Amino acid sequence: MAAQTVTRADLCEAVYQKIGLSRTESSKLVEAVLDEICDAVARGENVKLSSFGSFVVRDKGERIGRNPKTGVEVPIEPRRVMVFKPSNVMKARINGQSGEGESE
Amino acid sequence: MIKSELVQRIADQNTHLYQRDIENIVSAILDEIVKALERGDRVELRGFGAFSRKARSARIGRNPRTGDAVAVEEKFVPVFKTGKELRQRLNGKA
C-alpha cells in the first residue's frame, strides 16, 4: 500500500461532499480555516482543537550550533517555533482504536 | 484560540452561512486529516505544514512508579512539520 499525499484539493473535496456548498466556496472556506489558524499562531496564540490536537508556540533560546559539514560553530539565534501536540483521540484513531474513552 | 473561537471568526467573515455549517466544515477538514493518517497517508498543506505518522517499534517500557517492566506494543505517532512560510511568519518575516 503506497502512501498517498493528501492536499488542499482533497480537503476541499471532502467539504464539498459533506456540506453541499459549491467547489469554489468549499475551497475558499478551507483556505479561511487554515489562514485563521496561521494568523493565530503568528500572533503567538496557541490553537487548541478538541479531539484533534493543539498547535503550541514555543520560544527557543539562543544556542551554539555547528555546521555538520565543516564543524564550524555558528550561533543559532533565538527563535519562535510551533509544535503540534496530537490529542489522545487522534493518537488512538491512528492506532486503529475508536478514540473514545481511551485515556492512553 | 479554541475550536469554537475559530468557528466564530470564520462565521464573522461569512455571514451568509449558518454557524452550524461552519462547525461542520471545520470538523470535516480535521476529520479528513485524521482519516488520511489512519490510512498511513501524509497530508501536505503548502504554507501551513505537513502531517504524517511515524512507526514506533515495540519496546520494553517501565512503570515509572513501580519500576516493573511492561511490554509496549508497536504503535504509530502523528507528527507535524511546520511549513516554511508559517515558520517565517512566526519569526516576523513575510
- How much is the average pLDDT of A66-90? 94
| DSSP string over A50-77 | TTTEEEEEEEE--EEEE-TTT--EEEEP
Q: pLDDT below 70 — which residues of chain B?
A: 93-94
Are A49 and B76 in contact (CB < 8 Å)?
Answer: no
DSSP string, chain A: -PPPEE-HHHHHHHHHHHH---HHHHHHHHHHHHHHHHHHHHTT--EEETTTEEEEEEEE--EEEE-TTT--EEEEPPEEEEEEEE-HHHHHHHTTS--SS---
Residues B51 and B25 in one domain: no
pLDDT at A1: 60
What pLDDT does A73 receive? Answer: 93
Q: What is the pLDDT of residue B92?
A: 81
Residue A80 has pLDDT above 50, yes or no: yes
Residue of B nearest to A11 (CA): B29
pLDDT of residue A102: 45
My answer on whether B12 and B49 are in the same domain is: no
Same domain, B35 and B48: no
Q: What is the pLDDT of residue A104?
A: 43
Whether B47 and B20 map to the same domain: the answer is: no
Q: What is the average per-residue pLDDT within A16-24?
A: 92
Burial call A48-79: b when 16+ CB within 10 Å, e when fewer: bbebbbbbebeeeeeeeeeeeeeeeeeeeeee
Report the C-alpha gap between B52 and B40 in whole angstroms: 8
Looking at residue B84, which CATH number applies to its domain? 4.10.520.10
pLDDT-derived band at A34 (thresholds 50, 70, 90) equals: very high
Shared-domain flag, residues B47 and B27: no
Question: Taking 80 as the threshold, does the pLDDT of residue A15 lie above it?
Answer: yes
Average pLDDT over residues A66-76: 92
Question: Based on the domain organization, do B68 and B46 belong to the same domain?
Answer: yes
Comparing B85 with A3, the larger pLDDT belongs to B85
- Cβ pair A6, A25 in contact under 8 A: no
| Chain A residue whose CA is closest to B42 | A5
Residue A2: is its pLDDT beyond 90? Answer: no
Question: Does B30 share its domain with B62?
Answer: no
**Inter-chain touch A82–B79, beta carbons under 8 Å:** no
Domain count for chain B? 2
> Which of B1, B24, B80 minimises the CB distance to A18?
B24
Q: What pLDDT score does A68 carry?
A: 92
| Res. A100 pLDDT band, cuts 50 70 90 | low
* The pLDDT of residue A103: 46
Inter-chain contacts counted by CB atoms under 8 A, chains A and B: 146
Length reported for chain B: 94
Domain range for B67: 42-94
Of B39, B40, B48, the CB nearest to A38: B48
User: Best of A16, A82, A97 to disrupt the B interface by mutation (most B CBs within 10 Å)?
Assistant: A82
Q: Are residues B64 and B34 part of one domain?
A: no
**Whether residue B20 is found in the same domain as residue B54:** no
What per-residue confidence (pLDDT) applies to A48? 97
Q: Please state the pTM of the whole predicted model.
A: 0.87
A52 vs B91, more confident: A52
Q: What is the pLDDT of residue A96?
A: 87
B61 & B31 share domain: no
B54 and B21, same domain (yes or no): no
Chain A residues in contact with B34 (beta carbon < 8 A) = 52, 90, 93-94
